[in-house]
Amino acid sequence: MKKIYVDGENLTMNDMISVSRNHVKIALSKKGRKKVFESRKNLEKIVERQRVVYGINTGFGELCSVKIPPSKIEELQKNLLRSHAVGVGNPLSEEIVRAVLLLRANALSKGFSGVRIEIVEKLIEMLNKNVLPVIPEKGSVGASGDLAPLAHMALTLIGEGEAFFNGERMKSKDALKKAGIKPLKLESKEGLALINGTSVMTAVLALSVYDAEKLVKNSEIAGSMSLEALKGTDKAFDPEVMQVRKHKGQIDVAHNLRLLLKNSEIIKSHRNCQKIQDAYTLRCMPQVIGASKEVVDWVKKVVEIEINSATDNPLIFENESISSGNFHGQPIAFAADFLGIAVSEIGDFSERRTARMTDSKLSNLPPFLTKKSGLNSGFMTTQYTAAALASENKVLAHPASVDSIPTSANQEDHVSMGTIAARKAEEIIRNVEHIIAIEMICAAQGIEFHKPLKPGVGVQQAYKTIRKYVKKLEDDRVMYPEIEKIAGLIRNAEIVRNVEKVVGGLR
């Protein structure tokens, strides 16, 4: 059976998805085991030589000058977890918590945290046996990393707090007992190493950017369907046009649109019509969606660096313990905010195409895409929902990273708010999945009015996939389950996969 080995160096985005969503098991590699062991030895030598080392035998944050006697080290670590487990709100989802456990194990196995091997192995055992700490979604300011949510995670290791086991919420000690896992006793620095880092914000952002990649392709498919429904032209996507403005995202999106619209009988039928130019939301798809695509690609690169980084404090090297700032979430905060803005714009763009299709004065289609308007409202209110979601996204897209509220008596006088930024980006993506679903459903309805003419090969395949789940609208019916169904197909990439079977891989 497949297993993913962690060593702090080689974790990929696909590994994260395999573990968080597909429950692939993980293990500590030989290389990782050696690095963890050596790091612990280095820590012990440093303490023996220096006597007083921050976070190991001192208090934390503003209390760093308070020396802790050896007899109180275990109590110090336990108190750290208890005092910092102050998160509030709904629990993070199962897939996010699984990603958090994976990222924390991977970060510690990098060999700069000074923990014992037992700590990493216990995280791995919890993940593999699906004992998932209850981690409230709110309470992190993003420096020193995700202190509050990671404290909730770490409590489960010592048998305190709450956890889910096989989907049932219970006390952590009971979950561990049911899974056959013994709780740990923490030694010097281990509590701090567990909670000091960016694992929560990075987990949320990693899953979000993975979904955003699929969402970009779905937006291209939806846009090409709308172009067919509105009898737009593909001339604006000409390769010569793209080559005089060499943004890669723009070039790639135009290439994809040409594939999707290839051999369209609908486009051919009005090639010589009186219309001079299409509206921007049709004509400028390469420029606008392409710009968002480049942001998604950049955010993915940031995440790929962060998931293999040591982000706790202090960091343990061969001859010294260095108090530094790798826990600061600013790189993730900026990336998450930028992702939210880019995906929000995809939603804005989509909603305007839906509005155009449902407006008979602009679309030359029946009012609200129904031949029986008046008695039927057709797709009138689906556009309301798309507009509501687009408007909500405009609020959510306000960057969290421009804010900072000092903590720890101004010792931590600038924080990133990266976890808030990541959670907002995730919410925006969920909203845009539904906006795109609404556009696809409306566009499929619009294409009905052009029969027997067929759309491009890619559009036709998308249309067929949608029609498996959403039939042509003749009379008003309850449509919210259909919107949810298509949003699910967008998220699991079924529509993209089916389209790529006939047009080849979309860039």
Q: What does the pLDDT look like over 247-269, one tens digit per residue?
A: 999 999 999 999 999 999 999 99
- The pLDDT, as a whole number, for residue 65 is 67
Whether residues 382 and 475 share a domain: the answer is yes
Which one of 197, 221, 237 terminates a domain? 197
- What CATH number is given to the structural domain containing 175? 1.10.275.10
Whether residues 333 and 466 share a domain: the answer is yes
- The pLDDT, as a whole number, for residue 219 is 98
Annotated catalytic residue within 5, 54, 280, 463? 54
Contacts of residues 69-76 at CB distance under 8 Å and 24 or more positions apart, as own/partner, are 73/187, 73/188, 74/185, 74/186, 74/187, 76/191
| DSSP secondary structure letter of residue 133 | E
Whether residues 305 and 406 share a domain: the answer is yes
Question: If we measure between CA atoms, which residue out of 212, 140, 200 comes closest to residue 427?
Answer: 212
Whether residues 235 and 369 share a domain: the answer is yes
Instruction: Find the domain containing 150 and state its range.
Output: 3-197
- Taking the alpha carbons of 155, 157, 134, 28 in that order, is the dihedral positive or negative? positive
Which one of 158, 181, 197 terminates a domain? 197
Domain total for the chain? 2
Angle at 375 between CA 372 and CA 379, to 5 degrees: 65
Whether residues 62 and 118 share a domain: the answer is yes
Question: If we measure between CA atoms, which residue out of 427, 269, 256 comes closest to residue 340?
Answer: 427
Whether residues 89 and 218 share a domain: the answer is no
**C-alpha span between 506 and 44 (Å, rounded):** 53
Whether residues 152 and 209 share a domain: the answer is no
Whether residues 192 and 283 share a domain: the answer is no
Q: What does the pLDDT look like over 124-181, one tens digit per residue?
A: 999 999 999 999 999 999 988 899 999 999 999 999 999 999 999 999 999 999 999 9
pLDDT band at 244 (very low <50, low <70, confident <90, very high): very high
The lowest-confidence range among 125-129, 299-303, 344-348, 403-407 is 403-407
Q: Is 384 an annotated catalytic residue?
A: no
**C-alpha span between 84 and 78 (Å, rounded):** 10
- What CATH number is given to the structural domain containing 492? 1.20.200.10
The lowest-confidence range among 78-87, 104-113, 409-418 is 409-418
Q: Say yes or no to pLDDT of 392 above 80.
A: yes
Counting residues of the chain whose pLDDT is more than 90, the rounded percentage is: 86
Whether residues 74 and 213 share a domain: the answer is no
Task: Give the CA count within 13 Å in the CB-facing half-sphere of 7.
Answer: 10
Whether residues 183 and 239 share a domain: the answer is no
Residue 49 CB coordination number (10 Å): 10
Q: Say yes or no to pLDDT of 57 above 80.
A: no
pTM of the shown model: 0.95
Write the DSSP assignment of 332-355 as a string of letters.
HHHHHHHHHHHHHHHHHHHHHHHH
Whether residues 89 and 229 share a domain: the answer is no
Q: Say yes or no to pLDDT of 461 above 90.
A: yes
Which one of 151, 167, 197 terminates a domain? 197
Average pLDDT over residues 304-315: 95
Q: Say yes or no to pLDDT of 371 above 70.
A: yes
Strand-pair partners of 58:
67
Q: Hey, which bits of 209-352 come out as E strands?
A: 315-316, 321-322
**C-alpha span between 456 and 232 (Å, rounded):** 12
Whether residues 332 and 263 share a domain: the answer is yes
| Residue pointed to by tokens 């690609």 | 297
Q: Measuring CA to CA, how many Å separate 130 from each of 136, 151, 383, 397?
A: 18, 18, 41, 34
Query: Which ranges constitute the DSSP H helices of 165-238?
Result: 172-179, 190-195, 199-229
What average pLDDT does the chain have?
Answer: 94
- The pLDDT, as a whole number, for residue 50 is 66
Q: Which two tokens stand for residue 247?
A: 């943004």
